[in-house]
Amino acid sequence: MKLFKAIYPPLTTPFRNEEISYEDLKSNLTKYNKFELSGYVVGGSNGETVFLTKDEKLKLIGSVREHASSNKQIIAGTGLESIKSTIELTNFAAKVGADFALVVTPHFFKNEMTDNALTNYYTTVADKIKIPLIIYNVTKFTGVNISVDTIAKLAEHPNIVGIKNSNTHVDELKQIINTVSNDFCVMAGTGSVLYPAFRAGAKGGVLALANVAPAECLEIYNLFNIGKLKEAEQLQSILIPVNKAITATYGVAGLKAAMDLVGFVGGNPRMPLEPLNENQKNDLKKTLTKASLIKLRN
């Protein structure tokens, strides 16, 4: 199975009283299904996967598969610290509906995550799982950055089909794209560089921003593909402050608050993360209004 091109939102996990709200998840998916999104990432960083139990992760994947349109691909975040646990979780995820596994670099012992260690980790996992693997490189959370040479080596594995690179360095993205085959799917991992990533040769994006502005993210992709580069770049510029607010400035709590403001269900993050205060919400609302997102949705 090959990854579709275009846009995948890394779904947030809605909570009520600290428990997952599957009704709110269904509500969001009903709305997202109306957009031409390629699919959904379940259990990624923005899904607060580090706060979820194994059973919660698997139930979430199954629920997303149940309520997603049949043409949407489901990418499940299944990367854990050990090879053994990653293989086990990934194969369980496959049974409940995951099409691909998004596997983050192990990082608790980050100083020991050498090129050889990472190569062994990913190749061993890829050999023993039942669905294709996507590498997840997110240095700001893990402190681990996979070298371009290691990515190129891993890209030759028949069951490693792509990478979500959440680092913001477009030059690094270019190096990866220029090193791997055209069949290997390089995805931008942040909305702040979506248009530059397409210019560099990326095939799509897994973007927190797509939870809040799915139509606009898809519009950048479509404008780029029909050669309207100036318009794509202009829309990218409008969305950069929004992306900054829901990632670097306010994090997952900000992303969820923004979803509430534009008509999806965000809710509070799971503790110990704290929701935004009123001043922060007002600041976020101004940013969304300036980008015409609230006006367009409500």
Architecture of domain 6-226: Alpha-Beta Barrel (3.20)
Single out the catalytic residue among 57, 164, 174, 203.
Answer: 164
Please indicate, yes or no, whether the overall pTM of this predicted structure exceeds 0.85: yes
Residue 296 has pLDDT above 50, yes or no: no
CA separation for the pair 177, 117 (Å, rounded): 23
Residue 120 has pLDDT above 50, yes or no: yes
| Residues contacting 157, CB < 8 A, separation 6+ | 122, 123, 126
> Containing H/E element for 63?
helix 54-67
CA separation for the pair 32, 67 (Å, rounded): 10
140 is catalytic: no
| pLDDT-based confidence at residue 298 (cuts at 50, 70, 90) | very low
- For residue 192, give the DSSP letter: G
CA separation for the pair 146, 135 (Å, rounded): 9
Rounded average pLDDT over 136-157 = 97
Could you tell me if 259 and 12 are in contact, meaning their C-beta atoms sit under 8 angstroms apart? Answer: yes
CA separation for the pair 81, 71 (Å, rounded): 31
Interval 20-29: pLDDT, tens: 999 999 999 9
Domains in the chain: boundaries = 6-226
Interval 239-276: pLDDT, tens: 999 999 999 999 999 999 999 999 999 999 999 999 99
Percent of the chain with pLDDT over 70: 99
Residue 72 has pLDDT above 90, yes or no: yes
Give the per-residue pLDDT at 295: 57
Could you tell me if 194 and 216 are in contact, meaning their C-beta atoms sit under 8 angstroms apart? Answer: no
Mean pLDDT for all residues in the chain? 97
